[in-house]
Structure 1
Amino acid sequence: MESSPITTTHIALVSVPAFSHQVSILEFAKRLLHLHADTFHVTCIIPTLSSSPSKHSFFFDSLPHNIHCIFLPSVNFHDLNNNGVSVEIQTQLSASRAMSSVRETLVSLSKTTDISALVADAMAPEALEFGKELNILSYIYFPCSTMVLSVCFHSQNLDEEVSCEYKDHPGLIHLPGCIPISGRDLPDSMQDRGSLAYKLFLQRCQRYLNGHDGILVNSFMELEEEATKAISQHGNGGDYPHVYSVGPITQSGPSGSKSRCECLLWLDKQEPNSVLYVSFGSGGTLSQDQIDELALGLELSKQKFLWVNLRAPNDRASATYFSEGGLVDDDDPLHFLPKGFLERTKEQGLVMCGWAPQVEVLGHRSIGAFLSHCGWNSVLESVVHGVPMIAWPLFAEQRSNAALVSDGLKVALRAKMKKPSVVVKEDIVKLIKGLMEGLEGQEIRRKVKELKKLANSAIMEDGSSTRTIANLANKWKNKHT
C-alpha cells in the first residue's frame, strides 16, 4: 500500500522595516522548519524603507528553500526620517503605512494556497485583522522579553494608577512575577505620556490583549519562570491571551563571510576568556564625550578588548538604526577617537567601524565578557553562549532588559551615568575589572553558565520551548484537516 504524500502547511509572517526584528521572526521560522522538516512552507512579508541597507542580503540569501521572502515596495518615510522621531514611532508608523500592501499580498497568497496561520511582528499588530478576514489563525511574534510583555499587558492599569511621568515616580513599579523596576527603566515609548509614541504604545498594547490566537514570545520558561507563570494565571481567567515561550531564538547559519574575518583572526591569538567584546548593536551610537570616556576607560583597564560597529559620534543614541550612516571620513574613519588612542592600544585591543559576526564572536573561546546595549537579541546570544555582560542600554526597551539582566538574573553589571548622559572612564575601569577579575564577576560568571545550560535544555528534543513549538505546529497542521 502506497503511503500518502506529505501535506505542506503554509504559514505567513509579517515583519517590519528593522533588521533585528526580521532576523528574530525568520530565525523562529528556521527553528520551526528544523523541528518539522518538509511539512511547512513559510512566506515572510517584509515592508521596506528607501534607506534599507543592502548589507544584510547575505542573511536572506542563506535562508532555507522553504522560506520565501516578499519585500514590499518602500513606504513613504521622508516626513519621519532624521527628524528626531523615536525608533518606536518610525518602526510602527512605517509598518502601518505598509498595511494596504500587506493585505494585498496576503489576499493574493490565499488565492493560491491554504494559509494555516499568520504571525505578525509585535510592531505590526494591525496585520492580525487580515487573519480574521481570511479566517486563519493569527498570532503576534513578540521579539522581546516576557517582562517587557508583562509591562505591555499592564500598561493600561499603570496609566490609571500612576499620576506623574514614570521617570518621576518615587517608588518602584511592581508587576506580577517580575522584578520591581524603576519608572526610568520602562521602555522609551512610556517616558513622555503626552507624546505620540505613548499614544501609539497604548494602542499597540491593547491589540496585544485582543483579537488573536496567542503571542509567541522570544524567551524561555526557565529564564523568566515567575513572569511566565503570572501571565499564564491571568490568561487562565480570560484576561490575557495565551503566551507561547518559543525561545531562545538567536541568529544561526552563515555569518556572511566565507573566510574568517579580521576580528576572529585577532581573537584566535588571544588567551581564553581574556577579551572584553564591546558592541552597541547594529544601530546604536554614542556622543563624542561618551566615545572619549569609553575609549580612555578601555585603555586604562589594561584589559584586552574588541570594539566593533563603532560609528561617528551622534547625540541621538538611535541615529543610525535605519541606515548605514555614521562614517564621515573614508580616509580616516576612526578619526573621532581620542588622539593617540589607537597607537597606544594597538597591542591591547582591536577597533572596527564595520560589521562583526556577533554569534561567532560570543562563541569564541577568548571572549570573557560582553559590554552590550542590551538589545534582546544580544542578551539572548550572550546567555546562550554563557558570556557575562556589562549592561549599557541606549534606547527602546533596552533599559528594561538591563534591569532584568543585572537586578533580576544577576548575570550583568550595569553602567551608571554620573555626568549627564555619560559614563565616566573611572567607572568604566571599575566595571571592566569587576567583571573580568573581581569576586563579583566570578559569581556572575557562575550564574550565566547555569543559564547557558538552561537555554540549551529549552531547545533540546524534549525541552520546554521545543514542546511549545511542537504544540503550535500540530495546531497549524490540523487547521485544514
Structure 2
Amino acid sequence: MVPLPMQGHLNQLLHLASRLILSYNIPVHYVATATHNRQAKHRVQGWQPQVVSNIHFHNLEIPPPLHPLPPPANTSDADDQTKFPSHLQPVFDAISLLQGPVSALLRSLSRTARKVAVVHDSLTASLIQEVGLISNAESYTFHSSSAFVVHLYLKHRAGEAISEEIPALEGCFTKEFCDFIEAQYKYRNLSSGFLYNTCRIIEHEYLDSLEKGTTEEQPLVKHWAVGPLNPLTTYHRNSTTKTSKDQRHPCLEWLDKQGQNSVIYVSFGTATTLSDDQIEELAIGLKQSQHKFIWVLRDADEGDVFSGGNDLEAGRRKPQGLLPDGYEEWVEEGGMGLVVRDWAPQLEILGHRATGGFMSHCGWNSCMESISMGVPLAAWPMHSDQPRNTILITEVLKIGIVARPWEHRHETVGSQVVESVVRKLMGSQEGEDIRKRAAELGDCVRRSVGEGGVSSSEMDSFVAHITTTG
C-alpha cells in the first residue's frame, strides 16, 4: 500500500488493508514516512489495535520540505474560505524522494514472495514506476475520489464536453496541484487495474463508462468497486454492538440522550480552516436554527499533524478566539449541542441513531461514511473534488441539499442562510424525504458488503485476480 500523505487518502488505504486484504490472509506492507504512518494508525477508527498490528508498516525517511509553508490562518478574508490547502504542497512535492526507497522495498519483497501486488494512490503513481521491471510484481491504482469525479476528469482530458453545471478544475485546485496530478497521470498505463472506494449500487453508470474507456486504451484492465471501506456493523445506528464506556468519546454520551435523527453533525474535514467571520456566522446560524448539533471546530492539518507538541492526542491544532463570548457555555448548558475541539469519532457520530444530518465539505471519505450510515448531507464544498462530489450527492443521488453553492464560494455564508439550510434538512418535509432516500441507499450499500453482496463479490474478484494471475 502506497498512500498519499493526506488524511483522507491515508485513511482509505489503511481501511482497505485492515478491513479487507488482511481477511484473505495476504501479508500487507503499508509504506509511508514515519510521521504519516503514525498519523494513519493514530486516527484509524473501527479496528482493534491487534488488527492494525498485523500490518507491516515501513517508515521511510525523507528530508523535510525545503520550503515549508505555514498552515492557513483564521483570517477575515472571505477568499481564504475556498483556499486549496497549498500549505501541504511542499509535502506532496517531497514524496518524489520516496521513489528510491519504495523501489528498493519492492525489489526486496519480490525476492522472497511469489508475487507482489502494489496498490498505490492515484497520486503516488510515480513512486512505483519501476514495477514494470520486476517480473513478479504488478501495480493497481486506487482512486480515493468518487468514480463520478474520475469519469469527469478523463472526459476533460479527452476534450469531451462537460455540462456547464460541473465546476471547472481551475476553480477547485491550484495550478501547482493540477501539475502534480498530471505528473502522476502519465504513469497510468503501468496499472494492471483500478480500485475505487465506492459501490456499484451508487455509481454503476460511471464505473461502466470508465471500464469502457480503459478497455479501448488498455485491454484486459479491470475495475473493482470495493467500497465502502469504512467499518459498518460496529457503528451503524441499527447495530447492537457498543463500545465500552471508557473507550467512548464524551460527545457520544451526549448523543445517547437525544432523540432519533434530532442532531446535525457539522464538520469540514482536515484540510480546511474557516475564517473568523465565517465561524461567527455559522455559530449564530446554528443557534438560531433551534436544532441540536455537534460541531467539530478545528484548524486544518499541518504537514506534520504532531508538530504542535501539546496536542498529540488530537492530532490537530486548536483554534483560538473564534466563537462569540459565552457561546460554548450557552450551547452546552442549554443542551443545544456540543463544540468539539479534539479529534472527533466521525464514524460513531454518523452511525448514532440521534444523528439526522451531516453538514460537510463533501470530501469523498466523508461522503462514503455518510452514505454507508444512511445520513443525508448539507453540502458545503471547499476545494478539490468536493464541488463535483456535491453534484453527485445533491443532483444525482438526491440524498442532500446544497449549503453553499460553489459559485458563491468567495462569499461568507450568512447566519440566516445557515439557519435556513439546517431547518430545511432537519425540520422540513423535503428534508424528511431526503433522509428517507439516504436511509434506503445506506441500507442497500451496507448489504453490498455482506456475503454475496456486489461489493463483497468485487473484492473476491480482485483477490482472485492478484493471487492467480502472472
Q: What TM-score do the two structures reach when normalised by structure 2? A: 0.84
Match of 1:354 among 342, 359, 381: 342
Give 1:222-237 correspondences, 5 Å limit. 222-237=201-216
CA contact (8 A) 1:457 1:463 kept: yes
Counterparts of 2:88 and 2:194, CA distance in 1:
20
Give 1:466-477 correspondences, 5 Å limit. 466-477=456-467
Counterparts of 2:99 and 2:110, CA distance in 1:
16
More helix by share: 2
Q: What amino acid does structure 2 have at the position aligned with 1:203?
A: A
Q: What amino acid does structure 1 have at the position aligned with 2:117?
A: A
Pair 1:144–1:90, CA change in 2 (3 A): farther
Give 1:264-413 correspondences, 5 Å limit. 264-308=252-296, 310-311=297-298, 320=302, 322-323=304-305, 335-346=321-332, 347=334, 348-413=336-401
Deviations for 1:197-249, whole angstroms, at most 9, x for unmatched residues? 222222323333x1220111111111012111112222332368432111111
Aligned to 2:413: 423
Q: What amino acid does structure 1 have at the position aligned with 2:252?
A: L
Q: What amino acid does structure 2 have at the position aligned with 1:201?
A: I
Counterparts of 1:303 and 1:152, CA distance in 2:
38
CA contact (8 A) 2:70 2:87 kept: no
Runs of 4+ in structure 1 displaced over 6 angstroms? 57-60, 252-257, 325-329
Aligned to 1:153: 154
Counterparts of 1:296 and 1:150, CA distance in 2:
39
Aligned to 1:95: 95
Aligned to 1:139: 140
- How many pairs are equivalent? 437
SS at match of 2:30: strand
Deviations for 1:109-131, whole angstroms, at most 9, x for unmatched residues? 22333333111111100133232
2:419 equivalent to 1:439: no
Q: How far 1:261 sits from its partner (Å)?
A: 1.5
Aligned to 1:169: none
Give 1:122-271 correspondences, 5 Å limit. 122-135=122-135, 136-158=137-159, 173-174=162-163, 181-184=165-168, 188-189=172-173, 195-208=175-188, 210-238=189-217, 241-251=221-231, 258-271=246-259
Q: What amino acid does structure 1 have at the position aligned with 2:369?
A: E
CA contact (8 A) 2:37 2:57 kept: no
Deviations for 1:30-82, whole angstroms, at most 9, x for unmatched residues? 2334652x3x1111111355997598267694534542111211442241432
Farther off after superposition, 64-73 or 436-445: 64-73
Deviations for 1:405-439, whole angstroms, at most 9, x for unmatched residues? 11221111112265833111111111000000112
Pair 1:378–1:183, CA change in 2 (3 A): closer
CA-based RMSD: 3.2
2:436 equivalent to 1:451: no
Pair 1:256–1:421, CA change in 2 (3 A): farther
Counterparts of 1:248 and 1:186, CA distance in 2:
29
CA contact (8 A) 1:220 1:246 kept: yes
SS at match of 1:215: strand
Deviations for 1:453-481, whole angstroms, at most 9, x for unmatched residues? 2211221211122111111111222246x
Pair 1:419–1:215, CA change in 2 (3 A): closer
Counterparts of 2:106 and 2:466, CA distance in 1:
17
Pair 1:156–1:276, CA change in 2 (3 A): same
Q: What amino acid does structure 2 have at the position aligned with 1:236?
A: T
Farther off after superposition, 454-463 or 284-293: 454-463
SS at match of 1:98: helix
Deviations for 1:140-186, whole angstroms, at most 9, x for unmatched residues? 1111100111133234224xx7xxxxxxxxxx824xxxxx6433477
Match of 2:69 among 64, 76, 81: 81
- Between the two structures, name the one with larger relative contact order (CA 8 Å, sep ≥ 6): 2
CA contact (8 A) 1:82 1:319 kept: no
Aligned to 1:17: 5
Q: What amino acid does structure 2 have at the position aligned with 1:463?
A: G
Counterparts of 1:335 and 1:23, CA distance in 2:
30
Aligned to 2:240: none
Deviations for 1:321-352, whole angstroms, at most 9, x for unmatched residues? 653689999xx966320123223322211111
Counterparts of 2:464 and 2:435, CA distance in 1:
38
Q: What amino acid does structure 1 have at the position aligned with 2:162?
A: I
Q: Name structure 2 gaps, 5 residues minimum.
A: 73-84, 236-242, 312-317
Q: How far 1:276 sits from its partner (Å)?
A: 0.7
Deviations for 1:344-400, whole angstroms, at most 9, x for unmatched residues? 322211111111111111111111111111111111111111011111122221111
Q: How far 1:275 sits from its partner (Å)?
A: 0.6
CA contact (8 A) 1:434 1:441 kept: yes
Pair 1:324–1:43, CA change in 2 (3 A): closer
